[in-house]
Chain A
């Protein structure tokens, strides 16, 4: 069982080391070696445990829980300090409530009583660990060069890279801890660390906007933290011996005890996964350097939120509260996808698409049938890979062309051909058959039909799915437009970045090819162990999709066929005299430049209006769940 403590503690050690290293070469070496070791450790854990199913471990180190409690108090004090210094009294209030609950829980109930098994591992934890250990570390390596360029471009921002990489590795450590902990008190500890990490990383540039958005993220996540602490309080109130503090024990205890904490923790998950009405913190988080966004969106933070909700999915199955959580997810999916249509800022489109997909995952987990949990886990995997690739592509493009606006990415295929192809694959991975996200959506449609009130979700998927097609394909269209004059600006991209981008692109495709293996080796056994039955795609469909992927990979070779015998002509310009770089003779003899711009449908899919609708709708649903829950408690 040494793998699990290694994966939790080693990144933390690397983090502390990085805090003291100011030398750039040395930092490079440490980050790369640490990334390699974490990746290797994850793979080792995978091969050790992927066949063994659920395994519980007790940790021989007795004072671990006490140390965590002390650290938690330090975190609370820090947040209290910055909250008062920056006059954000909501954050102060929330951290006080949360700390009081926690101190009460620790001092009154837990005097010496702790669950026997603090750590556990099963296939779902393993999947999450692979995402954190591989994608998370790749982003760390990418961040090395990115932050170098970032500070070269932004001389006004204080170089706090030591803190930056410290936080990155602490984040990884906390995520490993979160997915391996069976003890909910431990989960809570790691949960709070991720909140703190995201707060510091979002506010990295220390500009006014960054600080504001960092506090927004902090407040919303603290609100979830209060609900989480409430769940702990409730559990110990129901049974002071603390035996239900273990996730495994809680899940098998039945609805009567598990429902209230599951919904409270579900609420915490909703805040962390940035579903409506809490979506604004994730959109605001894009002020941070791009690797931070990549990390928050793909392998950490928001994935912690959906992880915990999928964990508790069996408790939600068939309950009214679960349905409401599912509906919050469903409406978030629909409305966030629609908002993405009206955005031209690439990072904002990615942010809304993340929110939408997290919504879909939560919709699956909230309704919580075994087929839907299968689909939810597939979504988590595919989304993590494709989204990290897209963020890193956008980050690279931004540094070369000086803009993250999709309109400025016109003709990227000419200016940065390799990045454009990778971005193209990443986008295809997000919405096209036969790639991963679409397989999961398809499975979700089939599963929702049979679920209670499933028709609502089927409708949401039918409309939301096609909305998704619109905003991704117009972005694709922009980057593959072959502009007549464009300068290639790709050559200055550093080799570490290339390495990470190539690897993620390859992963996007490979995971689509081997997903039947992932499903049968990891997801199906997990779903089987929780529900006693499992879902899978039919053999025929898998074959057909594999054939489609091969066909898609073959198609580009057709370009070779057309090397000869093709005559190039300029585009049709309505008969106006036009130069080779598409400047045409306008009326009154004025020469005009041709500019092609996408549709954004502001009046239908405007951010403000839809966000208001989503906030009202989801807030109402959450209130309703709260009322129901109060009924249960009383």
Chain B
């Protein structure tokens, strides 16, 4: 049932795709801000340079947590593309992020400490909606396995419009885009110096960046599932969704964590749960 080939393909290609997406993102963002922007391959140059630098840490255990973070991000992404159980993928994904948070806690530094707390807030803000998305997919396709969901002929998006809107909301949180880039940000205007990543530099920071690329590809794959009945539409949808995120990133200012938590839970409740409730009711009526 599990496809090892897909997992290996993900392992090899995801950083390339993720890095490119990140490069395009930076270019588009620069244009929106009236700048020329770096070359598309700039993220690779950055990571390459970081990898060459000396490994500076506050405490050695940081290395351990960040290595675990990237390993489990890769595991959860590989499991997703191999066609594994979606809920298990989500739980492995949470596990990975807990390692990132622990890495930030480990250094006992004020900035990364606050970053870690905020990263936790982000995790609890997005997790319910992601689980509800998986549940919604199960309700339509009767399977939690990604390969079976992807092979379904049913247009999931038509069954799960509310869930998809809710998912887009947490997608913003996950991509670390404004207005929800609380714990760390791609932009220079992060008020917590660099939030969770404050105490990471050199190879560790490079690992966090690569993990983020893997993570983004996994999330794009998640968007794909909503449109899996037609791969062309799916690719278009992914592109539109990402462009939308870039636009939102550049037009909104950062909000407080209170708003992030409340709004994402309310959206998960209003959009996700109501959508699922309707499906649930219809399934009861139709059967």
Binding site for B on A (CB under 8 A): 410-411, 413, 432-434, 438, 442, 445-446, 449, 455, 458-459, 461-463, 465-467, 469-470, 473-474, 476-478, 480-484, 538, 540-541, 544-545, 548, 551-552, 555-556, 558-559, 561-563, 565-574, 582, 594, 596, 598-599, 604
Contact = CB atoms under 8 A, between A and B. Distances in A.
B64 A596 contact: no
B255 interface: no
Contacts, number: 186
A541 B145 CA distance: 10
Interface stretch (B28-36, B82-90, B149-157, B174-182): B82-90
A621 to B, nearest CB: 20
Residue from A410, A466, A573, A599 whose CB has the most chain B CB atoms within 10 Å: A466
B116 to A, nearest CB: 6
A480 B128 contact: no
A480 B61 contact: yes
A545 B120 contact: no
A480 B94 contact: no
Given A476-B102, A477-B102, A566 B94 contact: no
B105 A477 contact: yes
A555 to B, nearest CB: 5
B229 to A, nearest CB: 22
B61 to A, nearest CB: 6
Given A478-B105, A541-B84, A555-B71, 10 more contacts: A432-B98, A462-B132, A465-B131, A469-B98, A474-B117, A476-B105, A481-B106, A482-B107, A483-B108, A572-B109
30 contacts: A433-B95, A455-B273, A458-B132, A462-B131, A462-B132, A466-B123, A466-B131, A477-B105, A480-B102, A481-B113, A482-B61, A482-B107, A482-B108, A484-B108, A540-B84, A541-B85, A544-B79, A544-B88, A552-B68, A556-B64, A562-B64, A567-B54, A567-B55, A571-B58, A571-B108, A572-B109, A574-B110, A594-B110, A596-B108, A596-B110
B75 interface: yes
The 8 A-B pairs at the shortest CB distance, nearest first, are namely A571-B109, A477-B105, A433-B91, A466-B127, A482-B59, A462-B128, A462-B131, A466-B124
B117 A598 contact: yes
Nearest to A562: B63
B199 interface: yes
Given A433-B95, A466-B127, A474-B120, A455 B276 contact: yes
B56 A540 contact: no
B108 A481 contact: yes
A548 B94 CA distance: 13
Nearest to B108: A481
A599 B61 contact: no
Interface of A: prevailing SS: helix
Contacts of B71: 551, 555
B111 interface: yes
Nearest to A566: B55
A432 to B, nearest CB: 5
B217 interface: no
B57 interface: yes
B139 interface: yes
A558 B127 contact: no
A477 B135 contact: no
Interface residues of B, number: 64
Contacts of B24: none
Nearest to A598: B117
Nearest to B134: A445
A482 B120 contact: no
Interface of B: 1-2, 54-61, 63-64, 67-68, 71-72, 75, 79, 84-85, 87-88, 91-92, 94-95, 98, 101-102, 104-113, 116-117, 120-121, 123-124, 127-128, 131-132, 135, 138-139, 144, 193, 198-199, 261, 265, 268-269, 273, 276-277, 280
A470 B120 contact: yes
Residue from A410, A411, A552 whose CB has the most chain B CB atoms within 10 Å: A552
A559 B124 contact: no
Nearest to B201: A569
A462 B135 contact: yes
Contacts of B105: 476-478, 480-481
Contacts of A481: 105-108, 113
A541 B135 contact: no
A568 B109 CA distance: 13
Contacts of B101: 473, 477
A473 B94 CA distance: 11
Contacts of A463: 128, 265, 268
B64 to A, nearest CB: 5
A446 B102 CA distance: 29
Contacts of A568: 56-60
Given A559-B60, A569-B57, A594-B110, A433 B102 contact: no
A570 B101 CA distance: 19
A467 B124 contact: yes
Contacts of A438: 91
Contacts of B132: 458-459, 462
A562 B1 CA distance: 38
Contacts of B94: 432-433, 469
A466 B128 contact: yes
B63 A566 contact: yes
Contacts of A538: 85
B57 to A, nearest CB: 6
Contact of B67 (A478, A548, A555, A582): A555
Contacts of B72: 548, 551
A271 to B, nearest CB: 31
A473 B120 contact: yes
A549 B101 CA distance: 20
Nearest to B138: A449
A474 B101 CA distance: 9
Contacts of B104: 477
A573 B108 CA distance: 11
B110 A458 contact: no
B2 A445 contact: no
Contact of B92 (A466, A548, A562): A548
Contacts of B113: 481, 596
B103 to A, nearest CB: 9
Contacts of B261: 604
